[in-house]
Amino acid sequence: MFDIGWQELFILAVLAIIVIGPKDLPRTIKTVTGWLRKARSMARELQSGIDDVVREAEIDELQREANKIDNYDLESQIKDTIDPTGDVAKEARLDEIEDEMLKTAQSLKDSTDPDKATAGGEEVPPIVDDFDDVIDSDVPDAEEATDDATAGAPETAEKASG
């Protein structure tokens, strides 16, 4: 650091003994080392304070960069790159196509919605819950069926024998 060799230290020690004296030399060395410790601790505190400021500046810079990325509008950037004047969108009538697609999607949702249950705009009849009503209305009474069967039986027997 200061590039002091052993010869220089030896000269300093001899001068200190001559100027300060051997009696006060230990107390003087203790005082000087205390000053050096204080100076080193102050230098460490200063360095840590500077490091904190640098970290905060880096964090602020990173936060600004993240905000730039977050606010970046990729869709408009792509549109500006592909069609800067907007002529292609006008020619393709994209708004009209999008509206038609939305209408088609909505009608598909409506036609497949089980709650609406419409077929061609008319209400679909409800499903029959009571099968006994259906069976009773379609099938004749058992007594009528046996009467009809026995009534025709003698005529059939006569035709078969004769």
Place of tokens 């230990």: 26
- Specify the 3-state DSSP secondary structure of 116: coil
pLDDT greater at residue 114 or residue 46: 46
pLDDT greater at residue 133 or residue 53: 53
Query: pLDDT tens digit string along 19-63?
Result: 988 899 899 989 999 999 999 999 999 999 999 998 988 888 888
Q: Of the spans 71-80, 132-141, 145-154, which averages the highest pLDDT?
A: 71-80
**Alpha-helical regions (H) of 21-119:** 25-70, 74-82, 87-92, 94-111
Specify the long-range contacts of residues 124-127, CB closer than 8 Å, at least 24 apart. none
DSSP conformation class of 119: E
Average pLDDT value for the chain: 76
* Side-chain-side CA neighbours of residue 158 (13 Å): 5
pLDDT at 161: 54
pLDDT at 162: 52
Domain definitions of the chain by residue range: 7-47, 76-111
Vertex 39: Cα angle to 38 and 45 (nearest 5): 90
